[in-house]
Amino acid sequence: MCKLFINDLIQIFKSSVSAVLPENLIRSSLKYNPTNEHLNILGKTYNLLGKNVYLVGTGKAVQNMSREVENILQSKIKYGIISIPMGSLDVFNKSRNVEYFEGAKDNLPDNSAQNTALKIKNLITQLNKDDLLLVLISGGGSALLPLPKSPITLEEKIGLVKKLANSGADIKELNTVRKVISDLKGGQLAVKAQPAQVVSLILSDIVGDPLDLIASGPTVQNTDGANKAVDVLKKYNLIDALPKSVQTLLENNGDNLVFPTNNTSNYIIGSNKISTKAAVVQCIELNYLPLVLSNKVTGNVQDVANKYSKLVTVICKYLRQNLEIDELKSNIKKLEISGTDLKVLNEIKISNKKPLCLILGGEITVAVKGTGKGGRNQQLALEFSKYLHKVKDQLNDFDIFIMSAGTDGIDGPTDAAGAIGYLNLISESTADGLDVDKYLANNDTYNFFKLFKNGHLHVLTGHTNTNVMDIHLIIIKRKLL
């Protein structure tokens, strides 16, 4: 285990997170002129003269988004309600007219978050045409804005979403179902705020930045219909086990809401692309050759770990000059890593002595079958190490490390953002008496990394107050001959 590579990986990751800190994104996206009361958002001007501004927000990043909006608009904000994760409130940062409420412990909807969602609903339904509602949205917003449609209870909704997640449903599928069974998602927040003007500032935490799925799209028209949610439930064999309340809702779903298209604007101000660009800058400063291969990585954690192992193996083969560049591209294309940019591979120079740092972003899934404690990033780091171990004899002339971590600083219901794996991890952990297969099968990767090497391979940042999916960094360095 090389401490230099571990320290570099953590430094690169922290730089990628700093680039998407919400206060920086808000500051670069919003400009306000108090003299004429004009608010400019990414080039579009809103005249606030004679208007009251209200503020609501939901997500892991919205506390600092809101603080910066307050700094910019100051007394122009009449009132606001912000829903943030449990344990993240900055009590030393006093607010003017905005209230902050915690909820959704371990990123799961709860009564506290539901009470905040109800407060938001009560506020927005009282707005009129002279009001502008500024909505702040980021990843984690779904769990922090839970308001099930009647007659569904919060417990029933939580149970259904848990079953979906544990069955391996991805974020798009989860939000497709959430939108149908929720009272504020799927554009309904914007509808209920009418006739006020609605403007949303969004940090994307979903591959491809689909507006209608980020935090389940509370201010974006839902064009799915109930049938799409039913299809997701059928896919995971959950349709026959639905609570009666959900069955009733799906059978009678037909709100026929008229979405206020001309009175609603949505802006994405932060995404995974911004984060990976910052990682590139930090890599160069640390003397690595950075290659951003994808911002759209999805799939099951085991499949992704296997593909990453094959990716590393073929790149090492190329670096030994056993492959031509066209062969390298062809082999990597066959791996079908979603969103792969093959053109960046041209930047690899065999004569270059710098270590490579492959940079990928996205969000993968874990089908939970065990009762342990962990998350997709810790699982990926350990699964990748296991796959590398199987081909270690082909890679002994290289140092290979991976770091997988969530930009929100939280991987599953743990205090870790992720973890670091490497080529010889399995051999060393086995020598220490740790059964990797046992920890993987039980989805107990958090406790593995807590025990192994005294926890030094855990990536611990605490709540970052931002969220633009995950970052995967893979270092490949040829050993000196």
Here the CATH number for the domain that contains residue 463 is 3.40.1480.10
Residues 80 and 125 in one domain: yes
- Asked if 307 and 335 touch (Cβ cutoff 8 Å), the reply is yes
Task: Report the length, in residues, of the chain.
Answer: 481
Residues 287 and 220 in one domain: no
Give the C-alpha distances (Å, rounded to integers) separating 387 from 313, 342, 395, 443.
11, 23, 12, 17
Nearest to 139 by CA among 460, 409, 459, 416: 409
What's the total number of domains in the chain? Answer: 2
Residues 180 and 300 in one domain: no
Name 80's bridge partners: 55, 98
Residues 261 and 321 in one domain: no
Residues 236 and 315 in one domain: no
Residues 205 and 348 in one domain: no
Would you put residue 132 in left (φ > 0), alpha (ψ -120 to 50) or beta? Answer: beta
pLDDT of residue 69: 97
Burial of 480 (0-12, 13-18, 19+ CB in 10 A): exposed
What is the token pair recorded at 319? 């670096």
Residue 158 counted as domain residue? yes
Residues 157 and 93 in one domain: yes
Name 40's bridge partners: 31, 45
Residues 411 and 282 in one domain: yes
Give the C-alpha distances (Å, rounded to integers) separating 463 from 48, 116, 283, 466.
34, 20, 24, 8
Give the list of residues 6+ apart from residue 110 with CB closer than 8 angstroms, or none.
86, 103, 104, 146, 154
Residues 228 and 143 in one domain: yes
Nearest to 282 by CA among 3, 15, 6: 15
pLDDT of residue 337: 97
Boundary residue ending a domain (222, 255, 270): 270
pLDDT of residue 425: 97
What is the token pair recorded at 16? 């990628």
Residue numbers in the chain where pLDDT is lower than 50: none
Residue 289 counted as domain residue? yes
Would you put residue 186 in left (φ > 0), alpha (ψ -120 to 50) or beta? Answer: left
Residues 163 and 228 in one domain: yes
Boundary residue ending a domain (220, 251, 270): 270
Residue 193 counted as domain residue? yes
CATH code where residue 103 lies: 3.40.50.10180
Residue 8 counted as domain residue? yes
Q: How many Cβ atoms from other residues are within 10 Å of residue 427's Cβ?
A: 12
Q: Determine the structural domain holding residue 380 and report its residue range.
A: 3-13+273-478
Residues 303 and 419 in one domain: yes
For the chain, give percent helix, strand, coil, nearest 5.
45, 20, 35
Name 99's bridge partners: 81
Q: Does pTM surpass 0.85?
A: no
Alpha-carbon distance 360 to 339, whole Å? Answer: 9
Indicate the helix (H) or strand (E) that contains 199: strand 197-203
pLDDT digits (tens, 9 = 90+) for 94-131: 888 999 999 999 888 899 999 999 999 999 999 999 99
What b/e readout covers 285-310, taking b as 16+ CB neighbours within 10 angstroms?
ebebbbbbbbbbbbbbbbebbbbbbb
Residue 18 counted as domain residue? no
Q: Where are the alpha helices (DSSP H) in 55-202?
A: 62-73, 111-124, 154-166, 171-181, 188-192
Residue 429 counted as domain residue? yes
Tell whether the torsion through CA atoms of 181, 22, 288 and 329 is positive or negative.
positive
pLDDT of residue 154: 95
Radius of gyration of the chain (CA): 23
With tokens 């349709």, the residue in question is 239
Residues 98 and 241 in one domain: yes
Boundary residue ending a domain (211, 239, 270): 270
Residue 203 counted as domain residue? yes
pLDDT of residue 6: 96
